[in-house]
Amino acid sequence: MLGLIEITPWHWAGFILFVLFCIAVDMGAFRSRPRGVTFREALVWSAIWFAVAMAFGGLLVPLRGREEATEFVTGYLIELSLSLDNILVIALMFAAFQVAPELQRRVLVWGIFGALTMRGIMIGVGAELVQHFAWLLYAFGAFLVITGAKMFFSKKEAVEPEKNPVLRLARKFFPVSPALDGQKFFTRMNGRFALTPLALVLVLVETTDLIFAVDSVPAVFSVTQKAFIVFSSNVFAILGLRSLYFLLAGAIGLFRYLKAGLSIVLVFVGVKMLLDPHEAAPQWFQARIPTVASLLVVVAILLVAITLSIVVARREKPVA
């Protein structure tokens, strides 16, 4: 049996180049005319991104071992599931700013690029801090349990752009054109440089992802503290976010119990992080939950939430 390879800076560089290639493909470098994304196209691309993620997980088996591959798949599914709540908020933003479907694609692609950058920084800092201060894992675990509980009992989300501090700051320092200028983020107004409303939507998407990352990044640290696995699982979940949005945005409201399911997932991974053995914990407090068991629990919670939502929605559907 071949020995496991060590992750070197060359592997990081190669992976980042692959990600940039994927983003270039997603941006449709050879298409200059904006257009909407059909349901069929979104379904195909969602399947492609999922297949690529699973192929990467399969590649990890001979290179880094089955345990690490399972950690990647578990982290990926946690990130992908938590991004569903993000999709709902993004859909509300587009509705609030009346962004046409053919322009939503551009915002999402650039939003993904920014999200990858921000999460890369957060994961790098988080992995370094966890390595030196193991007790932070307990802080992350407690935070996830509290966040999951708050999400479970929270009311329906609403988008209020006028209350967003980043948006108010942008409007304070830059003039904003009253109308869209095609797919442009920047324009000229009275001879001056100005932001378009589409740029404000992009700012909202980026800040919203940053807020969601505060929950989702610690959630993956409950599965593994290996920076490369945490980062790659985040990356593949984010790469599939655009196609997943166009696949589910119109029907996300039907999944009424999805938010409850996601909150239970957060509580579960938080408890797992609190119980997993760490150097900072007394031995009597430690109870390791295997990664495979974590994966099965997360999948089961999501399947129950989605199935229950669909069953209830069908029963309430009026008879013609």
* pLDDT surpassing 70 at residue 188: yes
Q: Which two tokens stand for residue 16?
A: 């980042």
pLDDT of residue 21: 86
Find residue 189's DSSP bridge partners: 192
Q: How many CB atoms lie within 10 A of CB 26?
A: 20
Average pLDDT over residues 8-14: 89
Of the two residues 92 and 286, the one the predictor is more confident about is 92
pLDDT band at 58 (very low <50, low <70, confident <90, very high): very high
pLDDT band at 73 (very low <50, low <70, confident <90, very high): very high
Of the two residues 25 and 319, the one the predictor is more confident about is 25
Q: Give the span between the Cα atoms of 92 and 19, in whole angstroms.
A: 28
Find residue 186's DSSP bridge partners: 195
Q: How many CB atoms lie within 10 A of CB 301?
A: 19
* pLDDT surpassing 50 at residue 29: no
Residues with Cβ within 8 Å of residue 232, at least 6 apart in sequence: 15, 56, 72
Residues with Cβ within 8 Å of residue 27, at least 6 apart in sequence: 109
Give this prediction's pTM. 0.81
pLDDT band at 314 (very low <50, low <70, confident <90, very high): confident
pLDDT of residue 50: 92
Q: For the chain, give every domain's residue range.
A: 34-314
Mean pLDDT for all residues in the chain: 79
Residues with Cβ within 8 Å of residue 107, at least 6 apart in sequence: 94, 99, 198, 201, 202, 205
* pLDDT surpassing 90 at residue 303: no
pLDDT digits (tens, 9 = 90+) for 269-300: 888 888 765 555 555 455 677 778 888 888 89
pLDDT digits (tens, 9 = 90+) for 96-148: 777 877 788 888 888 888 888 888 888 888 888 877 777 778 888 888 888 88
Beta strands (DSSP E) in the chain are 186-189, 192-195
Q: Which two tokens stand for residue 222?
A: 């409950």
Q: What are the C-alpha distances in Å from 223 to residues 7, 153, 238, 273, 307?
A: 18, 25, 18, 8, 26
Q: How many CB atoms lie within 10 A of CB 104?
A: 25
pLDDT digits (tens, 9 = 90+) for 149-182: 888 887 665 556 666 677 777 777 788 787 777 7
Q: With contact defined as beta carbons under 8 Å apart, do 79 and 19 qualify?
A: no
Q: Which two tokens stand for residue 224?
A: 């593994």
Percent of the chain with pLDDT over 70: 85
Torsion angle of alpha carbons 30, 34, 38, 41, nearest 10°?
A: 20
Q: Give the span between the Cα atoms of 192 and 159, in whole angstroms.
A: 30
